[in-house]
Amino acid sequence: MGAKNMGREKETGSLQVRHRAKPGGCTCEGDRESTDEVYTQKWVVTPRMVYAQPKALVPSRKDVLVLTPWLAPIIWEGTFNIDILNEQFRLQNSTIGLTVFAIKKYVVFVKLFLETAEQHFMVGHKVTYYVFTDRPADVPQVPLGTGRKLVVLTVRNYTRWQDVSMHRMEMISQFSERRFLHEVDYLVCADVDMKFRDHVGVEILSALFGTLHPGFYSSSREAFTYERRPQSQAYIPWDEGDFYYMGAFFGGSVVEVHRLTKACHEAMVKDKANGIEAVWHDESHLNKYLLYHKPTKVLSPEYMWDQKLLGWPSIMKKLRYVAVPKNHQAIRN
């Protein structure tokens, strides 16, 4: 049966792909575990849609880089058609998990986070919010749309904020294995002291994505605040580096997020045993991982911005996920 006939008869299907381990237990993916399992790769055929034709000789944006050297798209406003993407993901019937950590007094930010997520995050798609907290009774009840639910996960707190931040990788890794793999298709990991200000949808979804740090997207690699001490597992030499990624917004398929968070946690455990702590904690380890495990999508700083500190440059057509001005008195109370 030809491909055209298959497309006419079915809207969805699957392709079985077998990964075989090389002799000696190695796979073509380097240090990943060998596998001989069969998995199903989804494909979808979108129905007839009417939209402006893309022009092969007209770039979507002329003022920014829209493709990395390893051919991963960089997501800016004007580089995607959300209607086409929404239809593709609707046919895949994907569910997206969104994790946040609301430890100690940071539970005060959960209400605004959830309310704005309901307005702007993955609208029209199935979403599970996972709120990690040591104060489950203080997590507010926010009205949720159809196909969207809230799961509160109780975890311990830590005295230092650095430890809270670093143990996030451990918790995401453990819960990915325990339940996320069985409940959602994609996982988005975000900071809770933020709010969604504009559309954040399926255009961000990919096997693995990172977000350009708003303070370094125009900087040279020498200016990046990577961990520069060779004693640390997060070490990156001065002559290496693609971008500087923000630790506050990353994600991908649950399998890839599990690999990332597990690797970062194990690296931090090694550092602790050697009496060293990376300069920017889990963010330093995230940058090391994404340097040697290239993300399949990169999000522009539209997806992580602080207007109070950085204003609103003309290059930013939209500010999608932004810092919440801190009311320190409200947090203390």
**pLDDT digit string, tens, across residues 149-178:** 999 999 987 767 666 666 899 999 999 999
- What is the C-alpha to C-alpha distance for residues 264 and 311, in angstroms, rounded to an integer? 32
- pLDDT value for 23: 38
pLDDT greater than 70 at residue 37: no
pLDDT greater than 60 at residue 41: no
- What is the C-alpha to C-alpha distance for residues 273 and 250, in angstroms, rounded to an integer? 27
Range of the domain at 36: 10-43
What is the tens place of the pLDDT at every residue in 224-258?
999 999 999 999 999 999 999 999 999 999 999 99
In this structure, is residue 160 part of a structural domain?
yes
Query: How many domains are there within the chain?
Result: 2
Are 304 and 213 within 8 A, CB to CB?
A: yes
For residue 125, give the CATH number of its domain. Answer: 3.90.550.10
Beta bridge partners of 148: 127
Could you tell me how far CA 33 lies from the centroid of its own chain? Answer: 22
Shared domain for 175 and 242, answered yes or no, is yes
Shared domain for 283 and 178, answered yes or no, is yes
What is the tens place of the pLDDT at every residue in 70-98?
999 999 999 999 999 999 999 999 999 99
State the pTM of this model: 0.84
- pLDDT value for 117: 98
Nearest to residue 195, comparing CAs of 325, 322, 303, 108? 322
In this structure, is residue 50 part of a structural domain?
no
Q: Which helix (H) or strand (E) holds 63?
A: none
In this structure, is residue 1 part of a structural domain?
no
- pLDDT value for 161: 63
What is the tens place of the pLDDT at every residue in 177-207?
999 999 999 999 999 999 999 999 999 999 9
Handedness of CA 8, 10, 14, 15 (dihedral sign): negative
- pLDDT value for 306: 96
Instruction: Write the CA distances from 252 to 78, 187, 202, integer angstroms.
Output: 22, 6, 11
- What is the C-alpha to C-alpha distance for residues 272 and 29, in angstroms, rounded to an integer? 28
- pLDDT value for 20: 35
Are 96 and 201 within 8 A, CB to CB?
A: no
Percentage above 70 pLDDT, the chain: 82
pLDDT greater than 60 at residue 212: yes
> Average pLDDT, stretch 35-56?
69
Instruction: Give the confidence band of 7 by pLDDT, cuts at 50, 70, 90.
Output: very low
Shared domain for 20 and 116, answered yes or no, is no
Shared domain for 15 and 133, answered yes or no, is no
Q: Which residue's entry shows tokens 């997806």?
A: 303
- What is the C-alpha to C-alpha distance for residues 306 and 176, in angstroms, rounded to an integer? 30
- pLDDT value for 42: 59
Are 80 and 203 within 8 A, CB to CB?
A: yes
Shared domain for 310 and 168, answered yes or no, is yes
Shared domain for 18 and 99, answered yes or no, is no
In this structure, is residue 204 part of a structural domain?
yes
In this structure, is residue 135 part of a structural domain?
yes
In this structure, is residue 54 part of a structural domain?
no
Q: Which residue is catalytic, options 118, 203, 283, 302?
A: 283
Can you list the positions of beta strands (E) in 103-147? 126-133
In this structure, is residue 64 part of a structural domain?
no
- What is the C-alpha to C-alpha distance for residues 120 and 114, in angstroms, rounded to an integer? 10
- What is the C-alpha to C-alpha distance for residues 315 and 4, in angstroms, rounded to an integer? 41
Shared domain for 132 and 222, answered yes or no, is yes
Instruction: Give the confidence band of 4 by pLDDT, cuts at 50, 70, 90.
Output: very low
Quote the mean pLDDT of the chain.
Answer: 87
Q: Which helix (H) or strand (E) holds 89?
A: helix 82-92
Shared domain for 17 and 158, answered yes or no, is no
- pLDDT value for 321: 97
Shared domain for 106 and 27, answered yes or no, is no
What is the tens place of the pLDDT at every residue in 287-312?
999 999 999 999 999 999 999 999 99
Are 214 and 248 within 8 A, CB to CB?
A: no
Instruction: Write the CA distances from 197 to 22, 109, 129, 272, 305, integer angstroms.
Output: 48, 15, 18, 38, 10
Shared domain for 274 and 163, answered yes or no, is yes
Shared domain for 94 and 191, answered yes or no, is yes
In this structure, is residue 230 part of a structural domain?
yes
Q: Catalytic residue at 256? A: no
Shared domain for 15 and 103, answered yes or no, is no
Q: Which residue's entry shows tokens 């079985």?
A: 16
Nearest to residue 213, comparing CAs of 323, 324, 48, 118? 323
- pLDDT value for 19: 36
